[in-house]
């Protein structure tokens, strides 16, 4: 009889140990899932709105460079800047953080810059050619630009008309 009691106790201890291991495994699995899902973190960042448009200088399309919309904190707009390469026809589509299309909703200062090293560009035929950037320097600096834009929820078309003088 003592032998059976001893067997029962050993069985009970072993079963309790297995249950503990099972409980620990389940708890570890739940914690792992929480970490993968984000466990309550629902921050997505600021709301972005689609912004497209065209850049011109004295009515002529700018055929290269970059455009940047910088949130104007003086007017209460905060968040990341959005940028775009200006296409040969002057068009642009802004991209925000991580290449997400759009810009933060609100007021922005607009900075437009010439492409890097505008003195020499290579044509599609491999020939080098001269390129004269028509974007006045004042538009390339956040402190001197007088260009601004208001981005609203939804789709926005913002044409930037620069003056050479």
Q: Could you give the CA distance from residue 82 to residue 102 in angstroms, rounded to a whole number?
A: 7
Task: Assess whether 103 and 144 both reside in one domain.
Answer: yes
Which H helix or E strand runs over 22? helix 2-37
Task: Assess whether 1 and 38 both reside in one domain.
Answer: yes
Q: Could you give the CA distance from residue 36 to residue 89 in angstroms, rounded to a whole number?
A: 44
Task: Assess whether 96 and 20 both reside in one domain.
Answer: no
Tens digits of residue pLDDT in 69-95:
999 999 999 999 999 999 999 999 999
Q: Could you give the CA distance from residue 155 to residue 104 in angstroms, rounded to a whole number?
A: 12
Task: Assess whether 65 and 27 both reside in one domain.
Answer: no
Domain residues for the domain of 82 are: 48-162
Tens digits of residue pLDDT in 90-142:
999 999 988 999 999 999 999 999 987 644 444 445 455 556 788 999 999 99
Give the total number of structural domains in the chain: 2
């Amino acid at each position: 009889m003592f032998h059976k009691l001893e067997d029962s106790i050993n069985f009970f201890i072993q079963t309790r140990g297995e249950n503990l291991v099972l409980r620990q495994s389940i708890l570890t699995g739940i914690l792992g899932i929480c970490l993968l899902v984000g466990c309550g973190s629902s921050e997505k960042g600021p709301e972005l709105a689609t912004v497209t448009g065209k850049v011109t200088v004295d009515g002529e399309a700018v055929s290269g460079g970059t455009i940047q919309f910088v949130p104007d904190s003086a007017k209460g707009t905060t968040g990341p800047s959005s940028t775009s390469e200006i296409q040969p026809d002057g068009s642009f589509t802004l991209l925000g953080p991580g290449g997400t299309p759009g810009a933060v909703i609100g007021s922005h200062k607009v900075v437009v810059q010439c492409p890097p090293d505008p003195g020499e560009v290579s044509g599609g035929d491999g020939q080098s050619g001269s390129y004269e950037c028509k974007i006045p320097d004042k538009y390339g600096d956040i402190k001197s630009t007088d260009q601004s834009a208001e981005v609203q929820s939804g789709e926005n078309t913002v044409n930037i008309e620069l003056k050479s003088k």
